[in-house]
Amino acid sequence: LGTSLTLVSNHWLMAWMGLEINTLAIIPMMTYPNNMRNTESAIKYFLMQATASMIIMFAIIYNAWMTNQWTLFQVSNEWATMFMTLALAMKLGLAPFHFWVPEVTQGIPLTSGMILLTWQKIAPTSILYQISPSLNMNLLILLAVSSTLLGGWGGLNQTHLRKILAYSSITHMGWMTVIVLINPSLTIMNLLIYIAATMAIFLCLNLTSTTKINALSNLWNKSAPMTITLMIILLSLGGLPPLTGFMPKWLILQELIIYNNITTAMLLAFSALLNLFFYMRIIYTSTLTMFPSNNSSKFQWFHSSPKPTSLIPSMTIISAMLLPLSPLVINL
């Protein structure tokens, strides 16, 4: 309801109300089952989101005072635009406001983490999309490049899969932010592909009850098809052709080069290698190593595989097999 309210609103107060409903609705999900770790993560999330919401409210009131407009598309004041951009960066987890994302994601269950890193990004991104003509290009590039670099460096030394996916989210939010002023449609396309891939990864990890990299060494024994699916999705999320994840990165770099942002394009391309490195660590651990185990467990997946879910095949197709549609996207 909160996300839908933000998506359809034309008035700043209604859009802000949607963001608040969205924030408050996920907190009970984050605290279930109730333990100290979940509660601590929920408190951190609430404090960060409440701070961002107050900055958004200040920007809304200041813009209305200066322009006499409450319409979502009318953000013509420079200071109001800057505060709005920084507040949305806090909600999306862009650097340098990214510190809460890995900590909160690590402390909550996999299902809640999936919602936090996918659905919760839709409402702030929609506001960023709608006010994109008024945004400051230099500020967006600074936030985006910082996010891609820090997201890549932060995930290199992690052993917890939820933290790795959190740093991956920071990086992908940077890719979406850098192009929102030049070509907002690419932001939406990148968001949809990212949501499909991240949901598929979380569903695979949830079905196999895997939260650490060292636990992936037994994933092939538990379910070989799940391992292959995870490998394909991770390669797509890293941006390797001919998988779908290559398409948004390719188009974003192409648009940046057309608009003579060569340095930004180079930094984004180099930062993608950092993400690809820790994706390859996950793939290597889950597929290319066979740790000592007894003979009966080597073919455990053949006798008993986990219950399938209907979402994983569809999400895998969306996140890995849509590259042939790229000519259509380019023409649009």
Last residue of a domain, one of 135, 157, 190: 135
The torsion angles phi and psi of 108, rounded to 5 degrees, stand at: -120, 165
**Confidence class of residue 4 from pLDDT cuts 50, 70 and 90?**
very high
Residue of 120, 113, 179 lying closest to 145 (CA atoms): 179
pTM over 0.85: yes
Residues 154 and 29 in one domain: no
- The letter for the amino acid at 75 is V
Q: Which pLDDT value is given to residue 302?
A: 44
pLDDT, average across residues 46-63: 94
Residues 26 and 76 in one domain: yes
Out of 135, 159, 180, a domain closes at 135
Tell me, what amino acid is at 239?
Answer: G
143 contacts 177 by C-beta, under 8 angstroms = yes
- pLDDT of the residue at 214: 82
Kindly state whether residues 93 and 130 are assigned to the same domain. yes
Same domain, 146 and 128: no
Is the predicted pLDDT of residue 221 greater than 90, yes or no? no
Phi-psi region of 166 (alpha: psi -120 to 50; beta: other; left: phi over 0): alpha
Among residues 135, 157, 189, the one where a domain terminates is: 135
Beta-carbon neighbour count of residue 177 at 10 Å? 28
| 160 Rama class: left (phi>0) / alpha (psi -120 to 50) / beta | beta
Confidence of residue 324 (pLDDT cuts 50, 70, 90): confident
Rounded Cα distance between 163 and 272, Å, is: 17
Instruction: Tell me if 268 is assigned to some domain.
Output: yes
Q: How far apart are CA 322 and CA 99, in angstroms?
A: 33
Judge whether 299 lies within some domain: no
Domain assignment present for residue 302? The answer is no
pLDDT at position 240: 87
* Same domain, residue pair 111 and 179: no
Q: What is the pLDDT of residues 11-28, one digit of tens each?
A: 899 999 999 999 999 999
Q: Is the alpha carbon torsion for 289, 291, 296, 300 positive or negative?
A: negative
**Whether 131 and 164 share a structural domain:** no
> Is residue 297 domain-resident?
no
Query: Mean of the per-residue pLDDT values for the chain?
Result: 86
For residue 36, the enclosing domain spans: 1-135
Average pLDDT of span 84-94? 94
Burial of 326 per CB tally in 10 Å (0-12, 13-18, 19+): middle
Asked if residue 198 and residue 158 are part of one domain, the reply reads: yes
167 and 183 housed in the same domain? yes
Q: Count the domains in the chain.
A: 2
Shared-domain flag, residues 123 and 155: no
Q: Are residues 110 and 150 in the same domain?
A: no
Residues 117 and 12 in one domain: yes
Long-range CB pairs of 96-103 (<8 Å, 24+ gap) are 96/146, 96/150, 97/48, 98/147, 98/150, 98/151, 98/154, 98/170, 100/44, 100/45, 100/48, 101/166, 101/167, 101/169, 101/170, 102/154, 102/158, 102/162, 102/163, 102/166, 102/167, 103/41, 103/44
